[in-house]
């Protein structure tokens, strides 16, 4: 199972420019989380900080019990082995075919034989739907295929944490949906902790178990998907509805005069774009039929039950509706108490019932 990532009081600047400050959140082990925000809010900087490529000035990042901001270079090297990273452009070597690109981490960081490497590479390429394309060069394939090849390479060392930077970048909506489905399937397959950095609204609504949002150098909020999808916070509501009305502007922030002017235009009948006030919560994407049971589902439901009383009322209502009368979400179709027990035992919970 993936490991928990705990971030507390994190602050990062470049010179005199503050990127974000006092960021505190926990990525639950084995769940899929998404970090959203307008362009330029430091989402990719946060991703690079988690893996130690950038060093924040304040705060802590605790991974598998180690604060990577205080550990030695040798300890950081070992912690990085827990990670697989998919960069925006796939970051493939142009002179290598896809097989060699995917095999590269295994050849660099392990002493496996070429036959072992071939077995692992072909397994990962099959997982991302690239069997048969292993001899192609990155320049000979589409952007979507390059993304999937980058994802296969991120998976070959069996990471416990997967960081995904803008998986929809440069892709059309259909290919973005395929990448999204692949990430859910990977979570079902290897139970890794996944963090997706994105500004794609559809991905945000349908993929993650948990959602956070950066804006104006702060983490606006982070929590179970229902919290943000039902939020009345103006910046969250504006972002998820993709409308002009709200605090986000072309240069990120608006002043009060601009906001009042735009609201007056809407009141006069001018359309503000977006999908104005989407009601309810879009169902979460499920693993492809035939994939293993996605254990994150039951773990998340158990965790959310414990924190339910701390959540906003709208989020509580949405969670209760998604869990249903039997208390189990629509990733599973319970028929009776025995089925519920089997569901949670499959995810590793002790139900207290003798088998």
Top pLDDT among 249 and 256 is at 249
| Those residues with Cβ within 8 angstroms of residue 307's Cβ, 6 or more apart along the chain or in another chain | 224
Q: Give the least confident one: 207-211, 267-271, 277-281.
A: 267-271
Residue range 43-65, pLDDT digits in tens: 999 999 999 999 999 999 999 88
Instruction: Round the average pLDDT of the chain to a whole number and report it.
Output: 83
| CA separation for the pair 203, 197 (Å, rounded) | 10
Residue of 281 and 332 predicted with greater confidence: 281
pLDDT score of 260? 58
DSSP code at position 350: -
Pairwise CA distance, residues 168 & 198, whole Å: 8
Single pTM value for the model: 0.82
pLDDT of 222 reads 95
* Residue ranges of domains in the chain: 5-227, 240-267
Range of weakest confidence among 118-132, 180-194, 196-210, 238-252: 238-252
Nearest-angstrom CA–CA distance, 95 and 100:
10
Q: What tokens were used for 346?
A: 């499959």
CATH 3.40.50.300 applies to domain 5-227 = yes
- Reference 4, options 319, 296, 226; nearest CA is 296
């Amino acid at each position: 199972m993936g490991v928990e990532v705990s971030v507390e009081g994190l602050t990062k600047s470049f010179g005199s420019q503050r990127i974000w400050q006092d960021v505190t959140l926990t990525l639950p082990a084995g769940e899929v989380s998404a970090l959203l925000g307008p362009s330029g809010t430091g989402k990719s900087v946060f991703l690079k900080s988690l893996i130690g490529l950038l060093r924040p000035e304040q705060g802590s990042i605790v991974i598998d019990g180690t604060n990577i901001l205080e550990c030695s270079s040798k300890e950081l090297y070992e912690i990085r082995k827990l990670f697989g990273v998919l960069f925006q452009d796939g970051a493939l070597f142009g002179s290598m075919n896809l097989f060699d690109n995917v095999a590269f981490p295994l050849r660099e960081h392990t002493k496996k034989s070429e036959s072992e490497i071939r077995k692992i590479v072909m397994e990962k390429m099959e997982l991302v739907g690239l069997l048969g394309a292993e001899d192609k060069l990155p320049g000979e394939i589409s952007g979507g295929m390059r993304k999937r090849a980058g994802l296969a390479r991120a998976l070959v060392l069996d990471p416990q944490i997967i960081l995904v930077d803008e998986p929809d970048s440069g892709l059309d909506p259909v290919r973005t949906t395929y990448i999204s489905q692949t990430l859910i399937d990977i979570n079902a397959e290897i139970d890794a902790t996944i963090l997706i950095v994105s500004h794609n609204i559809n991905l945000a609504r349908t993929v993650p178990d948990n959602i956070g949002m950066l804006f104006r150098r702060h983490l606006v909020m982070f929590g179970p998907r229902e919290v943000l999808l039902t939020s009345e916070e103006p910046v969250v509501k504006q972002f998820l509805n993709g409308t002009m009305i709200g605090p986000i502007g072309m240069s990120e922030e608006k002043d009060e005069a601009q906001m009042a002017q735009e609201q007056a235009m809407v009141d006069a009948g001018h359309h503000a774009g977006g999908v104005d006030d989407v009601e309810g919560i879009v169902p979460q994407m499920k693993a492809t039929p035939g994939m293993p049971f996605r254990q994150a589902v039951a773990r998340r439901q158990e965790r959310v039950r414990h924190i339910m009383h701390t959540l906003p009322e709208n989020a509580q209502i949405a969670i209760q509706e998604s869990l249903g009368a039997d208390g189990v979400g629509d990733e599973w179709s319970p028929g009776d108490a025995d089925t519920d027990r089997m569901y949670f035992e499959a995810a590793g919970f002790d139900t207290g019932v003798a088998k």
